[in-house]
Amino acid sequence: MIYSNELFDEAREIIDARRQEAEAQTALRLAAFEKKEPRYKELKQEMIDAVREAVAAVNLDRESAEKLLIKQRDRNLNAQKEIKELLRAHGLPEDYLETKYTCPKCGDTGCVGIELCSCFTELLQKLAFDEANKLSPLRFCTFDDFRLDYYSDEVIEEYGCSPRTRMNDILTLCKEYAADFDTTSQNLYMCGETGLGKTHLSLAIAGEVIKKGYRVLYNSAQNIFNTLQKEYFGKTENRGKYESMVLECDLLIIDDLGAEFSSQFTDAALYNIINTRINMRLPTVISSNLSPRQAEERYTRRISSRIIGDYLCLRFIGGDIRQLKTEE
């Protein structure tokens, strides 16, 4: 994936701040331990002197150098052993004086050799997805504030259950989906009339899955297609960046499918998204006012057959919750 210079700079600042904080905490522990245990400072100086004398050994003949190196090695090891004993005597772990970097692999430098460390690329991905989701109301919808009392408990003969019963089942399924989520999770197609809670539950899923550390992209169908179209026709920088995020994120959530302006481009883009993610075995959640049959009428058969065949359909029923909320 291609990232902007701004994202690289932001990631570098975060990595640098991690390293500086880790080293600052180490310095504080060292200062506190030296004050508590004066012998530690002496041992540390012995280790420094041992290294200096070992370096000087290069100017000696081979036999003398080997003897001196062994002597200084033993001196260094004994000092390390005594430091560990001092730490234990003070009830501290043996690694207490070591720097605890966020990423032990690169020591919070962002690089391993000449290659970017995985921690740096993961941070870039997170920042990119945060940027893509910044206009989404992810913080405002949770499972806890999804209210079943808005739904009627009168049985609807067509469905053989009441809206409250149906929505309780859907709420339970969505909670379990988010709790057990991984990149092998199934696709969901949430459908039903406007104002029944489809967006609320899809956002709640997004919020929980993001907490688990997965890359989630949430947006309306219209916004997704608009951004893809701008990229395709070269109207934004870093062409292909957003498309890569859409196709490769751990969980894609497309809200309000069917409300977008229909064109050959949107149909082709939708088919590519659905088909590619199915082939890559990456889960997608779609919410729409269109039933599977209406989706079949709206889109090509290639699109509708994949939705019907590869998505678990959750049919929302009841009255317009948004209207009920405004009347309170």
| Helix (H) or strand (E) run with residue 312 in it | strand 311-315
Whether residues 198 and 293 share a domain: the answer is: yes
The helix/strand/coil state of 165 is helix
pTM > 0.75: no
Q: Which domain holds residue 223?
A: 133-327
Whether residues 312 and 206 share a domain: the answer is: yes
Domain end point (choices 119, 146, 176): 119
CATH code at position 221 = 3.40.50.300
| pLDDT at 307 (0 to 100) | 92
Whether residues 221 and 106 share a domain: the answer is: no
| pLDDT at 60 (0 to 100) | 60
Residue 253 · residue 277 · CB < 8 Å: no
Whether residues 150 and 258 share a domain: the answer is: yes
Whether residues 155 and 284 share a domain: the answer is: yes
Asked if residue 127 belongs to a domain, the reply is no
| pLDDT at 161 (0 to 100) | 93
Q: Please spell the DSSP secondary structure of 49-109, one letter per residue.
A: HHHHHHHHGGGS-HHHHHHHHHHHHHHHHHHHHHHHHHHHHTT--TTTTS---S-TTTTTS
Whether residues 150 and 34 share a domain: the answer is: no
Whether residues 213 and 302 share a domain: the answer is: yes
| pLDDT at 12 (0 to 100) | 93
| pLDDT at 77 (0 to 100) | 84
| Helix (H) or strand (E) run with residue 189 in it | strand 187-191
Cα–Cα distance measured from residue 17 to residue 77, given in angstroms and rounded to the nearest whole number: 33
Residue 18 · residue 107 · CB < 8 Å: no
- Look-up: residue for tokens 């309780």? 168
| pLDDT at 47 (0 to 100) | 78
Whether residues 107 and 222 share a domain: the answer is: no
| pLDDT at 46 (0 to 100) | 80
Residue 254 · residue 221 · CB < 8 Å: yes
Residue 93: count of CB within 10 angstroms of its CB: 10
Residues 67-77: b if buried by 16+ CB within 10 A, e if exposed: eebeebeebbe
Written as tens digits, the pLDDT of the chain (328 aa) is: 456 677 788 999 999 999 999 999 999 998 988 888 888 888 888 877 777 776 666 666 676 667 767 777 777 788 888 888 898 998 999 888 899 999 999 999 999 988 999 999 888 877 876 776 665 665 668 899 899 998 999 999 888 999 999 999 999 999 999 999 999 999 999 999 988 999 999 999 988 888 888 888 999 999 999 999 988 877 655 566 889 889 999 999 999 999 998 899 999 999 999 999 999 999 999 999 999 889 988 998 899 999 999 999 999 998 877 666 665 5
Asked if residue 61 belongs to a domain, the reply is yes
How many structural domains are present in the chain? 2
